[in-house]
Amino acid sequence: MRERPPPIGAAEVPAFEDFYRKEYRAVVGLAYALSGSRWAAEDLAQDAFLAAHDRWDRISGYDQPGAWVRRVVANRSVSAIRRRNTEAKTMARMAFGERPALAEIPNDAAEFWDAVRSLPRRQAQVVALHYLEDRPIAEIAEILGIAAGTVKKHLFDGRQTLARELGLDEEDER
């Protein structure tokens, strides 16, 4: 069973290095889930961290600096054409000896995330955050800067579509 992550943004503001270490895995995972490119996922995540680093005086004062980085990644990751472009760019870099970031994932998982990315943009973001980090509705709303009710609606619609597309039972097991 996966351990549930702590709430985003503890009361104590971390140093950037601590913040980065704590959030790195989740943010790269989110970038991969939403971009679908194991070549470009780390670049998307690093770009967001770099943006946070450059503004750390301000970002570190936020209640949820992790939410800020996730929002940057989420907003930059979802687009079929962007994925195609990112891959081409990253493959060009790979051609000169830089290795891809993430290992290949099994076909079943790849098919699941393909289906998530085929959802409308907001639905894909909500569904990815819901599953990847088991975040409650209120935290997803905070990350994406939308109302909790809107998150609920996107999650409901997205899960219905996913279940239909993947031929699965959508009934919540909990």
Residue 57 near another protein by CB under 8 A: no
Beta-carbon contacts of 74 under 8 Å, excluding residues fewer than 6 positions away, are 30, 34, 125, 128, 129, 143, 144
CA distance 22 to 2: 16
Residue 43 near another protein by CB under 8 A: yes
Q: Which of 31, 118, 43 is nearest to 74 (CA)?
A: 31
> How many other C-beta atoms lie within 10 A of the C-beta of residue 114?
13
Residue 163 near another protein by CB under 8 A: yes
Residue 135 near another protein by CB under 8 A: no
**CA 41, chain centre distance (Å):** 10
Q: Which of 10, 15, 84, 145 binds another protein (CB under 8 A)?
A: 84
Q: Which amino acid is located at 117 in the chain?
A: R
Residue 4 near another protein by CB under 8 A: no
Beta-carbon contacts of 30 under 8 Å, excluding residues fewer than 6 positions away, are 45, 70, 73, 74, 77, 128, 129, 132, 133
Least distance in angstroms from the C-beta of 21 to another protein: 7
Residue 21 near another protein by CB under 8 A: yes
Least distance in angstroms from the C-beta of 7 to another protein: 19
Residue 86 near another protein by CB under 8 A: yes
Applying CB under 8 A, the residues found at the interface with another protein are 2, 17, 20-21, 24-25, 28-29, 32-33, 38-39, 42-43, 46-47, 49-50, 53, 76, 80-82, 84-97, 99-109, 112-115, 117-118, 131-132, 159, 162-163, 165-166, 168-174
